Amino acid sequence: MSYSTAASGQPQVSATAPASLRAREPRVPADRLVAEMVPPPRFDSVRFDTYVPDPNQPSQSEAVTALRAFAAGLGGAHAGGDGGGSGRAPLVRRWFGKKSAAPTGPRGVYLDGGYGVGKTHLLASLWHATPAAPELKAFGTFVELTNLVGALGFQETVRTLSGHRLLCIDEFELDDPGDTVLVSSLLSRLVEAGVALAATSNTLPGKLGEGRFAAADFLREIQGLAAHFRPLRIDGEDYRHRGLPEAPAPYSDEQVTKAAYATEGASLDDFPGLLEHLARVHPSRYGALTDGLRAVCLTDVSAVPDQSTALRLVVLADRLYDREVPVLASGLPFDRLFSEEMLNGGYRKKYFRAISRLTALARDAKGLVAQ
83 and 210 belong to one structural domain? yes
Whether 20 has a pLDDT exceeding 60, the answer reads: yes
Residue 107 domain-assigned?
yes
Residue 117 domain-assigned?
yes
Using CA atoms of 16, 21, 27, 29 in order, give the dihedral in degrees to the nearest 10: 90
Greatest mean pLDDT among 67-76, 132-141, 214-223, 347-356 lies in 132-141
82 and 108 belong to one structural domain? yes
At residue 240, the pLDDT reads 58
Per-residue 3-state assignment (H helix, E strand, C coil) for 234-260: ECCCCHHHCCCCCCCCCECHHHHHHHH
59 and 171 belong to one structural domain? yes
Query: Which of 240, 262, 285 marks a domain boundary?
Result: 240
15 and 48 belong to one structural domain? no
Residue of 4 and 192 predicted with greater confidence: 192
202 and 305 belong to one structural domain? no
Q: Among 92-96, 122-126, 290-294, where is mean pLDDT lowest?
A: 92-96
91 and 217 belong to one structural domain? yes
At residue 241, the pLDDT reads 58
pTM of the predicted structure, to 2 decimals = 0.71
- 142-152 and 177-192 helices, crossing angle to 10°: 80
At residue 39, the pLDDT reads 94
Residue 31 domain-assigned?
no
Residue 232 domain-assigned?
yes
Residue 86 domain-assigned?
yes
Whether the CB-CB separation of 358 and 326 falls below 8 Å is answered with no
Query: Which of 240, 260, 276 marks a domain boundary?
Result: 240
Whether the CB-CB separation of 332 and 362 falls below 8 Å is answered with no
294 and 202 belong to one structural domain? no
State the amino acid at position 138 in one-letter form.
A
71 and 216 belong to one structural domain? yes
In whole angstroms, what is the distance from residue 241 CA to residue 328 CA?
Answer: 18
194-245: pLDDT as tens digits? 999 999 875 443 443 344 455 566 666 666 666 778 888 888 876 655 555 5
73 and 158 belong to one structural domain? yes
Whether 98 has a pLDDT exceeding 60, the answer reads: no
Query: Which of 240, 269, 292 marks a domain boundary?
Result: 240
CATH number of residue 11's parent domain:
3.40.50
Specify whether the backbone of 80 is left (phi greater than 0), alpha (psi in -120 to 50) or beta.
left
Task: Find the domain containing 249 and state its range.
Answer: 3-26+245-368
Whether 8 has a pLDDT exceeding 60, the answer reads: no
213 and 298 belong to one structural domain? no
Residue 275 domain-assigned?
yes
pLDDT tier at 13 (50, 70, 90 boundaries)? very low
Q: What does R_g of the chain's alpha carbons equal in angstroms? A: 22
Whether 179 has a pLDDT exceeding 60, the answer reads: yes
At residue 176, the pLDDT reads 64
135 and 167 belong to one structural domain? yes
Q: At 56, is the secondary structure helix, strand, or coil? A: coil
Whether 315 has a pLDDT exceeding 80, the answer reads: yes
183 and 277 belong to one structural domain? no
CATH number of residue 103's parent domain:
3.40.50.300
Number of domains in the chain: 2
